[in-house]
Structure 1
Amino acid sequence: MRRSKAVTAFALLTSATLVLSACGGGGTSGDQGGQQNADPGKIGAQDEVFQRPKVDDIGEIAIAVEEGFDDYQNYIGASNSFANTIALSNVIPSPYFTDFVDGKLVIKVDGDLMESIKVVSSDPQVIEWKVRKEAVWSDGEQIDCDDFYLKWLAATSKATIKGDDGTEVSIWDATPTGYENIEKIECSDNDKTVKTSFFKDKPYADYRGIFSTPGSDGLLPAHVLEKQTGIADIMKVTPEQNDDQVKKAAEFFTKGWRGYNKDLSLSGSAYMIESTDLKDQTVLVRNPKWWGNPGGPARVILKTNTDSQSATQQLQNKEVAVIAPQADPAVAQQLRGDSAFTVFAAGGQTFEHVDFNMSLPLFKNNKELRLAIGQCFDNQGLVDKLIKDVDPNATPLGSLVMMPNEVGYEDHYSDLGKGDVAAAKKTLEDAGWKQGADGIYAKGEFRASFKLGHKIVQRRADTVRILQDKCKQAGIEIIQDQADDFNSKRLTASEFDAALFAWVGQPLKAGAYGNYASKDAGGSGNYNLYSNKQVDEKWKAANGELDYQKRLTMMNEVDKLMRDDLHSIPLFQLPDFAASDANIGPIAYVGVGGGVTWNLFAWQKK
């Protein structure tokens, strides 16, 4: 999410930010985020191990996806997008893997990459990561401690530059969440064993989300950066440095891996990128250096199709075998009625929301306007008209940090989203706003009118139209502002009045910190420029709380603070949706794991 989609739960982006989502998807059905994290400080604790199964070769598979791959470097604020996760989840190596078991997300150790990941001390917290001896990048260089160190360096470097708003921001454009708790990294066993020692007073409960947002983030080839920058050993560059060497490293990290270059954009997983036009088509093939069981599809063609009906037509015409379009009611009903196809639909971790640009005087100086907008929003109408036919259990969303089917969920927005015209008008009038001859309220230099920007997606256009209705009756004008590059360019540059988009979440929550933290406190994904130091402090404290129940309470306290600020209004949990030829499977959708491609390697012909 990046823009289009986005990510969160107790983790994200470079290990800590939500991914933007263009369409839907993100989680699973059933309870999510259960007791797996209950005792993250237990000595010797290790999650279940996942290994890719041995399967038959099924040849070439074509998939229609809603948004095209455009960036190999998907782990910085400027490029973080779910569209890239679709391809990279089977390319970038990640110590943890998000499995989908009996309708639930289960975070497991990726046993193809890792021998083990263990808690070896809890005071101070020390985690030992053992990389498999045979694990190598697609150029034959080993995956090792240097790659872990690079992610830590990028997240914790003290080198900064002035951002557009005048604040000091990291030259690496990477969120520090989780990494900043690590005091040192030590390597042994020919650099295949990595030991991360956390500061004594800074344990990190969601350590599973560093070096890997399960399925969405992962390691980058440090040796490529070294070769391209002339840095002999990245591990000799320290977080405290602020010289030409660290600037050179950051320059490559933020720009050298952008887009796609076959010599630089390496794979450390089952597939590699063979070719891409960075828009309409990306081709994946098996990685010849992969040491695990080869995936079922030998060649995968990701075809971009932003239109749900058109993608359905492609599936029916056998131009593609699998589609992952927007959760469109008509498409869902159409395909469910035909035994030739299999449909997957369930409430996931992806959620739609509207963010106000908090640097804009209209919103920054008028909290009552933000409240009135929330009051005139008709969230139930959105669910009934856009979501119910896909997921009958869908309800309006009342939290920015948890989904309705997660342990610990509390609704803090129940007083909003009811399409209450009278309440919205009263809020404005009590604050001195006057309704003009054109029906729109105004106060001094301000007029209750704003553009609501979003990527060109039919459901989002419909969302704006539904929101416009009640708000217009309340004297608030919402102007449709859609653009194909809204997520990839304008959203990340904060060039909007208000933005309608989705974050793709996950069972870990610490990573979402980077989406809401102040820019100068690590908010690399904070596109609406929101800032509340109390939120920064409480979220950081929650990230270091090893008691599961206490952490849930603290996360809800953070959400209440954001509800009071009303910088963002949650709309609804977006159903994960995918469909396929009934002869191909198993097909499911795990947004944090790459959407419909999360288990690509296991696909078989029935």
Structure 2
Amino acid sequence: MRRSTILALAATATASLVLSGCGGSSGGSSDGKQQVAVADVNSRPLSDIKQGGTLRIAIEQWIEQYNSNTADGAQGDASEITADVEPVLFRTDEHGVPQLDPDYLVSAQVTSTSPQVVTYQLNPKARWSDGTQLSWRDFQAQWKALNGSNSAYQAADTSGYDQISGVAQGANAQQVKVTFSSPYADWQRLFTPLFPAAAYSTPQEFNNGWTQKIPITAGAFRISQYDKTDQTLTLTPDPKWWGTKPKLNSLVYRAMAQTAITDAFLNGEIDEAQAEDPDDYRRLVKDKDAQIDTGSRWDEVHVTINGAHGPLKDVRVRQAIGEAINRQATADAFGSGLPYKVNLLGNHFFMPNQQGYQDNAGVYGKFDPTAAGKLLDEAGWKDNGAGKPRTKGGQKLEVGYLLSAGSPQTTVDTAQLIQQMLGQVGIKVDIQKVPDNDFFDKYVNLGNFDLVSFRNTDSMYPSTLVSTYQQPQGKNLFQNFGSVGSPQIDALLKQAAGTTDKTKAEALYNQADKLIWQAGNSVELFQRPQVDAVRKGLANYGASGLVNFTDYAKVGWVK
């Protein structure tokens, strides 16, 4: 699973783990669709799992940047792979509740509230692959790289770290005292994964030291082979690992287009495939070696609007796009061939099955082509009649819609549906397909698009989304790739992230969400249901709900 990441709609198959709670889909709705489960895995004790075997997983592209705290490395596959081999201090369970990992931490708790101080006691057995113990210096290096004080560090997200005033050694090098300048509720999401000071202490190391390689590890697995020609990455158990010995002999990631994943699963080449696409589902559900798992993942599908250039700089045009899109039609189209309910989404921070959710779309997410037309009139775009783009000063109202070339048919269908909807109000949309490997690196991350659709996933801590909606600083877009924000939104997000009262924090995030809808930052479409085909016999692996990172040491094949 991925933590606070962005995924192309042509995204990779998803790996996940739940050690408690297992069951099939239950419940239903008025249209006969089933509700997906909270979590659905083949949960087994380690004694039921045989020693050995390989797990093969598809990823969407070859990884160029493994530092998941940079914009390029925040891409989902890179984040997941890095977390496989680096310390994950807290893993969330299927309900999104953080659980301390004893392989890395003896304890971690708030030891003072004024100011807020969190004291970590590291497991003395925990060591980096260069032989040094994990220590307070690793925390200090990561804080300095991510607190935003030095723009030379190309950090994707400074939230949380920018509220830390100091990181110091406690009673010994394995005790860390982190002091906050203002209260921060989601402190358990910080320093996960933890990165080594030996490869993180300078901008050069941070920005370039993790390009096409992971220099230092500290996990149950290590990377034993990078094969760019074969587009495979092989992880094997680290013999120096101090925790429970992994059951698998190897974990192999293979880069491939989304359109190839179903065939690869059916041909026995990989062991998990997403089955949310109706065509894929119909094929995968018939496979005698497949188990269909469902879960309620933090997974949203949206359209990002680039307000940095062209006609989309005008908030009225952006708002018109929101009112011209029939969001319910996109959800219905996506789920038309699935037996599971697809939930319409009216919030940028919370899922419909998550505490804090309320529908904030209002008029800016209500399908109203007449209102959209009035906004375009006010913006000076002349209506030239049905089927013709509007014009202003001799220019046509024309925008591009960026797609990854390997997108599945449902994604193409969504783009074409939106193309038709916007065309009806006089906005001409050109669908632009780009190579899978360039989609993020050369387009999305650089703000090189007009409209684009991708997924934000696994943001169980709402503060992880601050960088998605905060105003860019110079060339650093953070993860607000469309550059649409405001001082008011920034202030509310900062206040929410610093509010330790959960109910009050949720109210602040919802206030910010209303302004995000109004600003035309993006149009939320629907919560993507988690439907996975998993190879039968695979244990502790499947659709895991709100789990953030898989513990692959516990994954394996049933005896």
Matches within 5 A, 1:414-493: 414-415=362-363, 420-436=368-384, 439-444=388-393, 446-456=395-405, 457-458=407-408, 459-483=410-434, 484=436, 485-493=438-446
Work out whether 1:286 is the aligned partner of 2:230: no
Aligned counterpart for 2:103 among listed residues 85, 106, 112? 112
What residue in structure 2 maps to residue 228 of structure 1? none
* Distance (whole Å) between structure 1 residues aligned to residue 429 and residue 551 of structure 2: 37
What residue in structure 1 maps to residue 542 of structure 2? 588
TM-score (normalizing by structure 2):
0.87
What residue in structure 2 maps to residue 501 of structure 1? 454
Aligned counterpart for 1:336 among listed residues 262, 274, 285? 285
Work out whether 1:566 is the aligned partner of 2:509: no
Work out whether 1:208 is the aligned partner of 2:188: yes
* Structure 1 residue 119: Cα displacement: 1.3
Work out whether 1:220 is the aligned partner of 2:168: no
Is contact 2:165-2:179 (8 Å) kept? Answer: yes
2:523 is paired with a residue of what secondary structure? strand
What residue in structure 2 maps to residue 346 of structure 1? 295
2:453 is paired with a residue of what secondary structure? strand
- Give, as a single letter, the amino acid of the residue that structure 1 aligns with 2:542: A
1:519 is paired with a residue of what secondary structure? coil
What residue in structure 2 maps to residue 58 of structure 1? 52
- Give, as a single letter, the amino acid of the residue that structure 2 aligns with 1:327: E
* Distance (whole Å) between structure 2 residues aligned to residue 129 and residue 371 of structure 1: 46
Instruction: Evaluate the alpha carbon distance shift between residue 290 and residue 185 of structure 1 in structure 2; reply closer, same or farther with a 3 A threshold.
Output: same
Work out whether 1:375 is the aligned partner of 2:332: no
Percent identity among equivalent residues? 25
What residue in structure 2 maps to residue 517 of structure 1? 470
Instruction: Evaluate the alpha carbon distance shift between residue 56 and residue 295 of structure 1 in structure 2; reply closer, same or farther with a 3 A threshold.
Output: same
Aligned counterpart for 1:181 among listed residues 155, 160, 163? 163
Q: CA RMSD in A?
A: 2.8
What residue in structure 2 maps to residue 396 of structure 1? 344
Instruction: Evaluate the alpha carbon distance shift between residue 445 and residue 367 of structure 1 in structure 2; reply closer, same or farther with a 3 A threshold.
Output: farther
Aligned counterpart for 2:531 among listed residues 552, 555, 577? 577
Aligned counterpart for 2:128 among listed residues 102, 125, 137? 137
What residue in structure 1 maps to residue 208 of structure 2? 255
- Give, as a single letter, the amino acid of the residue that structure 1 aligns with 2:189: G
Is contact 2:347-2:360 (8 Å) kept? Answer: yes
Is contact 1:6-1:21 (8 Å) kept? Answer: no
Instruction: Evaluate the alpha carbon distance shift between residue 599 and residue 21 of structure 1 in structure 2; reply closer, same or farther with a 3 A threshold.
Output: farther
- Give, as a single letter, the amino acid of the residue that structure 1 aligns with 2:185: A
* Distance (whole Å) between structure 2 residues aligned to residue 593 and residue 222 of structure 1: 27
* Distance (whole Å) between structure 1 residues aligned to residue 72 and residue 267 of structure 2: 37
* Distance (whole Å) between structure 1 residues aligned to residue 299 and residue 197 of structure 2: 31
Work out whether 1:149 is the aligned partner of 2:140: yes
* Distance (whole Å) between structure 2 residues aligned to residue 307 and residue 172 of structure 1: 29
Instruction: Evaluate the alpha carbon distance shift between residue 109 and residue 389 of structure 1 in structure 2; reply closer, same or farther with a 3 A threshold.
Output: farther
What residue in structure 2 maps to residue 81 of structure 1? 75
* Structure 1 residue 20: Cα displacement: 4.0
Moved more, 552-561 or 296-305: 296-305
- Give, as a single letter, the amino acid of the residue that structure 2 aligns with 1:552: E
Instruction: Evaluate the alpha carbon distance shift between residue 594 and residue 361 of structure 1 in structure 2; reply closer, same or farther with a 3 A threshold.
Output: same
Is contact 1:378-1:466 (8 Å) kept? Answer: no
Moved more, 324-333 or 129-138: 324-333
Is contact 1:27-1:349 (8 Å) kept? Answer: no
* Structure 1 residue 316: Cα displacement: 2.5
Is contact 1:453-1:497 (8 Å) kept? Answer: yes
**Unmatched 5+ residue regions in structure 1?**
9-17, 30-51, 161-169, 213-217, 226-233, 235-248
- Give, as a single letter, the amino acid of the residue that structure 2 aligns with 1:520: Q
State the aligned residue count: 524
* Distance (whole Å) between structure 1 residues aligned to residue 275 and residue 62 of structure 2: 14
What residue in structure 2 maps to residue 314 of structure 1? 264
Aligned counterpart for 2:174 among listed residues 192, 199, 223? 192
What residue in structure 1 maps to residue 32 of structure 2? none
* Structure 1 residue 143: Cα displacement: 1.4
* Structure 1 residue 127: Cα displacement: 0.7
Instruction: Evaluate the alpha carbon distance shift between residue 406 and residue 349 of structure 1 in structure 2; reply closer, same or farther with a 3 A threshold.
Output: same
What residue in structure 1 maps to residue 114 of structure 2? 123
2:92 is paired with a residue of what secondary structure? strand
Is contact 2:3-2:548 (8 Å) kept? Answer: no
Work out whether 1:91 is the aligned partner of 2:85: yes
* Distance (whole Å) between structure 2 residues aligned to residue 290 and residue 376 of structure 1: 55
Cα deviations across residues 121-164 of structure 1 (Å, max 9, x unaligned)? 1122111111101001123221111111111111225333xxxx
* Structure 1 residue 591: Cα displacement: 8.2
Instruction: Evaluate the alpha carbon distance shift between residue 391 and residue 565 of structure 1 in structure 2; reply closer, same or farther with a 3 A threshold.
Output: farther
2:296 is paired with a residue of what secondary structure? strand
Is contact 1:71-1:84 (8 Å) kept? Answer: yes
2:96 is paired with a residue of what secondary structure? strand
* Distance (whole Å) between structure 2 residues aligned to residue 53 and residue 251 of structure 1: 42
